Amino acid sequence: MRFLIAVMSIMMFVFAACANGGHATNAVKAESSPVSTAPAVEELPLPSVPSTLTAPEKRAAYIVSHFWDAMDFGDTIRSHNQDFMEQNFANYISLFPYTDNAVLATCVSDLLLKAQADEGAYNLLADIADKY
């Protein structure tokens, strides 16, 4: 049941992002942002896109499909870390507006299946998806 709720939450975000044309609704002024002294959150490396994929939508689909390849959901130090998971999830969904909905549906299902390797990681990911 939680799997279905997580998929529905992510897919609702996908449709909202696509309906918005991939553009943010609120612009943030860089000059008004205070300088942060907090340490940077670790980010998963972006996958290397094969040079044979030249169309932007194919490149985006490849990155979304392989975004979580470097993540071991059995690694509880990372998979239970709220800041790490939230930053990487935000990076992941930032690619959604550039990716076909059919590809996204498959990728999101694959992500949630991988996360089921650890109940705590899965629950955290589902909570983050619900938040976004």
Residue 73 domain flag: yes
pTM over 0.75: no
pLDDT tier at 66 (50, 70, 90 boundaries)? very high
Contacts (Cβ under 8 Å, ≥6 apart) of 100: 57, 61
pLDDT tier at 115 (50, 70, 90 boundaries)? very high
Q: In the structure encoding, which two tokens stand for residue 60, read together?
A: 């985006």
Residue 76's nearest CA partner among 113, 114, 111, 119 is 119
Please give the pLDDT value at position 40.
Answer: 86
Could you list the residue range(s) of the whole structural domain that residue 104 is in? 2-21+52-131
Single-letter amino acid, residue 68: W
pLDDT tier at 125 (50, 70, 90 boundaries)? very high
Residue 88's nearest CA partner among 73, 105, 74 is 73
H or E element in which residue 62 lies: helix 56-66
Please give the pLDDT value at position 60.
Answer: 95
Residue 75 domain flag: yes
Tell me: the pLDDT tens digits for 77-104? 999 999 999 999 999 999 999 999 999 9
Number of domains in the chain: 1
Q: Which comes out higher in pLDDT, residue 123 or 36?
A: 123
d(CA 58, CA 75): 30
Residue 31 domain flag: no
